[in-house]
Structure 1
Amino acid sequence: MINPHWLQSFRALAEQGSFTRAADALGLTQAAVSQHVRFLEDQYGLLVVRKSRPLELTPIGQELLCYALELSEADARFQHRLNLSDSLEGEVSLITPGSSGLLIYPALLALQQQHPGLVIRHRFAPDQEVLQAVLNNQYELGLLTFAPQDKRLKAQAIAEEPLELVHPRGTRVKEWQDLVELGFIDHPDGRAMADKLLSRHFPGQPGAATLPSKGYSNQVSLLLEPVARGLGFTILPRYARQAFLRQDEIAVCQCQRPVVDTLWVIHRAEWPLPRRCQWVLDTMKNCLTH
C-alpha cells in the first residue's frame, strides 16, 4: 500500500503546480515534499516533468493522481456512512409480533410524517421468527414476548401485555357454558393462549380443545371482526384488542387471575444502536406504556 503521506504530497504538488506552493499548502518544507515524491518515483518511475512551468505530470503521474483522488472520494463516502449512524435520516428495520405491531404502527407512521428522511421497514412475525431475524442481522430491532437467553442479543423489558378474553358486546361470559354457546374464533396462537387464560379463569374445566370452533384467521388485524359481528369470542393480547377501531362492538371479560406477558425489545449486543433506531425505540416505548 502506498504511504498516505507520500501520496498527499504528490497530490498537493499536482494541484499546486510547484514544490514551493505544495509545501506551503501542507505546512511542510519543500525538501520534505520533494523527498516524498522521490520515494514514489523510486517505486513507480518518473511522475513529474520538473523542467516545465507549471510542473507537468507524466502518464504514470496522471494515473497516480487518479488513484489519489479515488482514495479521497472513498474516504469521504466512508465518513458519510459513519455520520449516518448518528443521523435521524435513513432506514430503521423493525420486526414485531402482530399484536404490539398493530398498536405502534400508527405512531411510527406519524414519526415518518414528521421526519420525511426517516424510513421504517416493519414486519409482523411470531416470536421465533423475530428472534432469528435479529440474530441474522436482517432487522435491527425486534419485540419478543419472552426474554432471550442468547448472549449475542441485548434485551430490555419495555412493557407488559395481558391476554384478554374478548366477546361480542351484549353477550355475557360468566360460566364455561357461556363460552361453549358463543364458540371460539381461533388464530395461530389461539388455543395456546386460551389454555393459559381459561385454566385460570375457569379452573377445572376441560380446556380450549373442547370449545366449538366458530372461525379462524391468521391475520391479527382481522381477528376481532367476527367477534364484533357476534360470531364468537377469542383470546388475544391486549394491544391487538386496543388497535381495533370499533371498541363499542366488543367487550372484555375481566379475569381475576390475569396472564401477563412481558415485551422485550432486542438488538444485537455487539454494536450500539444508531441514533435513529433509538429514536424509534423511544416512540415504541411511549406508545406501549401510555
Structure 2
Amino acid sequence: MLNPQWLRSFAALAEQGSFTRTAERLDLTQAAVSQHVQRLEERLGPLLIRRPRQLELTPAGRALLDYCAEVGAADQRLQQRLSEADAEQGEIGLISPGSIGLALYPYLLELQQAHPGLSIRHRFAPDREVLEAVLDNRFELGLVTLKPDDPRLSVSRFAEEPLELVVPAGEQVHCWADLDRLGFIDHPDGRAMAGRLLSRRFPGGPGVRSLPCHGFTNQIGLILEPVARGLGFTVIPRYARLAFPRQDAIHVIEGTPAVVDTLWLLHRAEWPLSARAELLLQRISPYFSIAPATR
C-alpha cells in the first residue's frame, strides 16, 4: 500500500505545480516533498517531467493522480459512515416480523421523505432470521417476538402487541359453535396464535385443529381479505389488523383473558448505534412507546 502522506504530497504538487508552494501549503520542507515524490517514483516509475518553470505529469503520474482522487473519495465515504453527527445521510437497515413491519413502514417512509439523504432497507422475516441478520451485521436493527439471550445483543422492550380474534363485520362469537360455523382462515403462524388465544377464551373447546379451514395465505397483508369477504375468521396480531385498509369490513371480538406478546428491539451490543438508527428510533418512539431500559 502506498504511504498516504506521499499521496497527499503528490496530489498537492500536481495542483500547485511547484515544490516550493506545495511545501508551504502542506507545512513541510521542500526536501520532504521531493523525498515523497522520489519514494513514489521508486515504486511506480517516472511520474513528473521537471521543466524550469513547469511540472508535467507523465501517463503514470496522471494515473496516480486519479488514484489519489479515488482514495480521497473513499476516505470521505468512510468518515461519513463513521461520523456520529451524520444522522441524515446513508442507509438504515431494519428487519422485523410482518405485523409490526406493516405498522412501521409508513413511518419509515415519512422519515425518508423528511430526510431524502437516508435510504431505508426494511425486510419482513421470522424471529430466527431476524436474529441471524443482526448478529451477521446485515441489518443494524431487528425486532423479534421472543426475547433472545445472547451476550452479543443489546435487547430492549419495544412494544406490546395483543392477539386479536377477527371476524367479518356484523358477526359475533359467543361460543365454540360460532367459530365452527365461520371457519378458520389460516396463515403461517395462524394455528399457533389461534391455539394460544382460543384455548384461553374457550377453555372447553376441542381445539383449533377441529375447526374447518376456509383458506390460507402466507402474505400478512392479505390475511384479512377473506375475512372481510365473509369467508371465515382468523387470529392475528393487532398491528397487522390495524394496517388493513378495510376496517369497516371486519370486527374484533373483545374478550378476556388477553394474550399479549412483547416485541423486543435488537442491535449489536459491542458498538453504539449509528446516528441514523438513533434518529429512526427517536421518530417512531411516540407511536410504539419504546422503553429506554436495556438488558
- Partner residue of 2:26? 26
How far 1:43 sits from its partner (Å)?
A: 7.5
How far 1:229 sits from its partner (Å)?
A: 2.4
1: CA distance between counterparts of 2:77 and 2:176? 63
1: CA distance between counterparts of 2:32 and 2:21? 13
Please state whether the residue corresponding to 2:92 is helix, strand or coil: strand
Task: Structure 2 unaligned segments of length 5 or more: list them.
Answer: 291-295
Over residues 109-147 of structure 1, what are the superposed CA-to-partner deviations in whole Å (9 max), with x where a residue is unaligned? 223333333222222222222222323333332211111
Does the CA-based 8 Å contact 2:94-2:139 persist in structure 1?
Answer: yes
2: CA distance between counterparts of 1:204 and 1:16? 88
Structure 1 segment 248-287 matched on structure 2, within 5 A: 248-287=248-287
1: CA distance between counterparts of 2:100 and 2:43? 63
How far 1:37 sits from its partner (Å)?
A: 5.6
**Identical counterparts, % of pairs:** 56
Over residues 52-110 of structure 1, what are the superposed CA-to-partner deviations in whole Å (9 max), with x where a residue is unaligned? 41264685xx7367536623531332222321452413332322211111112222222
Please state whether the residue corresponding to 1:20 is helix, strand or coil: helix
2: CA distance between counterparts of 1:45 and 1:99? 62
| Amino acid in structure 2 at the alignment position of 1:79 | Q
- Partner residue of 1:111? 111
2: CA distance between counterparts of 1:38 and 1:244? 69
TM-score normalized by the length of structure 1: 0.83
| Amino acid in structure 2 at the alignment position of 1:54 | R
RMSD: 3.0
How far 1:16 sits from its partner (Å)?
A: 4.0
| Amino acid in structure 2 at the alignment position of 1:191 | R
1: CA distance between counterparts of 2:195 and 2:45? 81
- Partner residue of 2:293? none
* Structure ID, larger Rg: 1
| Amino acid in structure 1 at the alignment position of 2:70 | E
- Partner residue of 2:75? 78
2: CA distance between counterparts of 1:147 and 1:84? 30
How far 1:188 sits from its partner (Å)?
A: 1.0
Does the CA-based 8 Å contact 2:158-2:265 persist in structure 1?
Answer: yes
- Partner residue of 2:151? 151
Please state whether the residue corresponding to 1:161 is helix, strand or coil: strand
- Partner residue of 1:137? 137
Stretch of structure 1 that moved more, 8-17 or 192-201:
8-17
